[in-house]
Amino acid sequence: MIITMAMGASSSQIDAVADAIREKGFDPLVLPGQDRTAIGIPASLNADQRVDIESMVANMEGVSKVTQTSRPYKLASREAHRENTIVSFGDVRVGDGSFVVMAGPCSIESYDQFLTAAQMVKSAGGNVLRGGAFKPRTSPYAFQGLHLEGLKIMRAVGEQVGIATITEVMSGDMVNTVAEYVDVLQIGARSMQNFPLLIEAGKSGKPVFLKRGPSATIDEFLLAAEYVMSQGNPNVILCERGIVALDKAYTRNTLDLAAVPVLKEHSHLPVIVDPSHGTGVARYVSPMAKAALVAGADGVMVEMHPNPKEALSDGSQALTPPQFEQFMAETRRLERALRDLSAT
């Protein structure tokens, strides 16, 4: 940890910080600079000690900034866990080197609509069936999902078609209910820092699919994963789904694809990319999904709808059935080609 003192901090302020660190049992190193002094703590601090010392010194007079030289996450860090984590459910293994495709409509609208979608996903080679029963919508006047009826449809369709399922849960008190019906709990971008929800999802022990918030930094994202993991649940899948866009005229969000190698380097958790929300435009889904594959992602989540024209939500980013089939064929071919290349 490095404490940077303000310009013009007095020597008594500097001494006070150094003394406070000593009282906590650590040896401070004082580094005078050109226009300000820095104080380092050359020791291995655990997470609690870091928070403890940072809280203390941040409030002392003459302190300008506290910089952690360690990363703030622990369980999610590759440092703590060198091997890739593989999250398994049904016959799916996310993070084992395969490329997992999660697909389905934005919303579960009816048994027939969802069954048709599921059959298309399965027959085209998709691995996981997605669909929303509880829909977080920006406007209270938009379609909000079928709720419990949607969950029941999802379970029935998943069993009938023989495919694993994932759906979003929006609050902590619904975790157990949703967990009964599906294989994976999705936590949406707007809920990434819904801490009571993260804790309940952690307690459930179920695989958790965690979407990055639209303005979340990498550290905030991994700390949200840490909340889930700190409850004893190691089964977290990270999802990059686009961050807030500089320019909303052409895409809905900015897909931060470099987050894939960044997350794979700093964390052992599997990383999925959502190019449907990441761009908001159906015709950019395929190029960005393939780019995600090449960049090292463990899979993608894409929206497809049996009939996007009649979708009750987000139709403009959903692939049509023929588009989805073509997408799957191209993606699987690229996946094989990459495997061949890496074998040579």
Selected from 25, 83, 322, 341, the binder of its own copies by CB under 8 A is 341
Question: Does 139 interact with its own copies (rule: CB under 8 A)?
Answer: yes
Query: Please, what is the minimum distance in Å from the beta carbon of residue 164 to its own copies?
Result: 26
Question: Does 343 interact with its own copies (rule: CB under 8 A)?
Answer: no
Tell me the one-letter amino acid at 36.
R
If you ran DSSP here, which 8-state letter would residue 246 be given? Answer: S
Contact 293, 335 (CB under 8 A): yes
Selected from 94, 128, 260, 304, the binder of its own copies by CB under 8 A is 260
Question: Does 46 interact with its own copies (rule: CB under 8 A)?
Answer: yes
Question: Does 86 interact with its own copies (rule: CB under 8 A)?
Answer: no
Question: Does 90 interact with its own copies (rule: CB under 8 A)?
Answer: no
Choose the binding region for its own copies from 39-47, 96-104, 122-130, 150-158 (rule: CB under 8 A). 39-47
Selected from 166, 197, 201, 269, the binder of its own copies by CB under 8 A is 197
* 101 vs 318 by CB, closer to its own copies: 318
- Distance between CA atoms of 107 and 312, rounded to whole angstroms? 7
- Distance between CA atoms of 300 and 245, rounded to whole angstroms? 20
- Distance between CA atoms of 158 and 168, rounded to whole angstroms? 15
- Distance between CA atoms of 246 and 314, rounded to whole angstroms? 21
Question: Does 262 interact with its own copies (rule: CB under 8 A)?
Answer: yes
Selected from 98, 143, 156, 326, the binder of its own copies by CB under 8 A is 143
Contact 241, 187 (CB under 8 A): no
Selected from 19, 22, 142, 162, the binder of its own copies by CB under 8 A is 142
Binding mask 146-175 for its own copies (x = CB under 8 A): ------------------------xxxxx-
**What is the DSSP annotation of 20-73?**
HHHHTT---EEEE-SSSEEEE--S---HHHHHHHHHHHHTSTTEEEEE-SS-S-
* 58 vs 160 by CB, closer to its own copies: 58
Choose the binding region for its own copies from 84-92, 115-123, 154-162, 226-234 (rule: CB under 8 A). 226-234
Residues 6 or more apart from 46 whose CB is under 8 A from it? Answer: 74
Nearest to 53, CA basis, from 20, 75, 27, 29: 20
- Distance between CA atoms of 331 and 266, rounded to whole angstroms? 27
Binding mask 199-218 for its own copies (x = CB under 8 A): ---------------xx-xx
Scanning residues 9 to 28, which ones bind its own copies (CB under 8 A)? none
Contact 56, 24 (CB under 8 A): yes
Residues 71-74: contacts with CB within 8 Å, 24+ apart? Answer: 71/219, 71/222, 71/266, 72/47, 72/219, 72/223, 73/219, 73/222, 73/223, 73/225, 73/226, 73/267, 74/46, 74/47, 74/226
Question: Does 83 interact with its own copies (rule: CB under 8 A)?
Answer: no
Question: Does 7 interact with its own copies (rule: CB under 8 A)?
Answer: yes
Scanning residues 235 to 254, which ones bind its own copies (CB under 8 A)? 243-244, 246-247, 249-251, 254
Selected from 47, 86, 115, 148, the binder of its own copies by CB under 8 A is 47
Question: Does 284 interact with its own copies (rule: CB under 8 A)?
Answer: yes
* 159 vs 336 by CB, closer to its own copies: 336
Question: Does 29 interact with its own copies (rule: CB under 8 A)?
Answer: yes
The H or E element spanning position 129 is strand 128-130
Scanning residues 96 to 125, which ones bind its own copies (CB under 8 A)? none
Total binding residues toward its own copies, as defined by CB under 8 A: 118
